[in-house]
Amino acid sequence: MSGVVPGRVPVADAPPPSLLDGALTCATAWGWPVLPGVGRAGSDSTRCACPDPDCVVPGAHPFDPGLLAATTDARMVSWWWARRPSAPVLLATGGAAPCAVSLPAGAAARAVARLDVQGARLGPIVATPTRWSLLVAPYSLERLGELLYAKDHVPSSVRFHGEGGYLLLPPSQASGGGQVRWEREPGTGPGGLWLPEVGSVVDALVEAGSGAPGGGSRLAY
């Protein structure tokens, strides 16, 4: 009699995390201040819910509450997303929170590959269909100015998200369509959640951004 091999029971794919889950993870597990983005106007996936009919980042920016309301308080975060479960998750950058440097996706992928070859230790990377954002340790405007002063040219394709800025986080929808995802998820080190210094990545990002088609300056996330 031939042997019988038991079949493997298929395992269903895990459901994607909810926006509330993503916001709570950022706020409570990582200590990052978050707030809900303004979102889209009703069922219209292209029009922002803010009063500006020509909004260039539809749905993907703060409005009400404003950026200063960003918090790590789980009760406030839960209340916000209970009222607006489809609101995108925004990180308020700077201060004690992570900052970021972003550039067009193709250029960013080349820069990351170069940094990997050089042995640079990178932190979390947020990806949308059009841009990647490398999260870095908090930096001051003075420190950033020192780094950029030495450059012959800093292309407009490279954007810096520091004090008073914000960044769209997974699992939000990008303003131009498509999913926001982690190209590299946050990882921990001996001191907790690890972020590189901006000076360790800025050279590669500025160089890669200079070669972005059309300058890569169009505002899209």
Amino acid at 88: P
Q: Residue 10 falls within a domain, yes or no? A: no
Mean pLDDT across 70-83 = 97
pLDDT over 70 for what percent of the chain?
Answer: 85
CA 200, 89, 217, 128 torsion: positive or negative? positive
Q: Residue 6 falls within a domain, yes or no? A: no
Residue 140 has pLDDT above 50, yes or no: yes
Over residues 154-186, the pLDDT tens digits come to 888 889 999 999 999 999 988 777 899 999 999
Q: Residue 151 falls within a domain, yes or no? A: yes
d(CA 15, CA 25): 16
Q: Residue 128 falls within a domain, yes or no? A: yes
Least confident interval from 31-45, 84-98, 130-144, 195-209: 31-45
Which residue would you say has higher pLDDT here, 13 or 71? 71
d(CA 44, CA 27): 29
Q: Residue 8 falls within a domain, yes or no? A: no
Q: Are 71 and 58 in contact (CB under 8 A)?
A: no
Domain ranges, residue 102: 19-216
Q: Residue 53 falls within a domain, yes or no? A: yes
Q: Which residues pair with 192 in a beta bridge?
A: 189
Mean pLDDT across 54-83 = 93
Q: Residue 152 falls within a domain, yes or no? A: yes
pLDDT recorded at residue 212: 63
Q: Residue 13 falls within a domain, yes or no? A: no
Cβ neighbors of 117 (< 8 A, separation 6 or more) are none
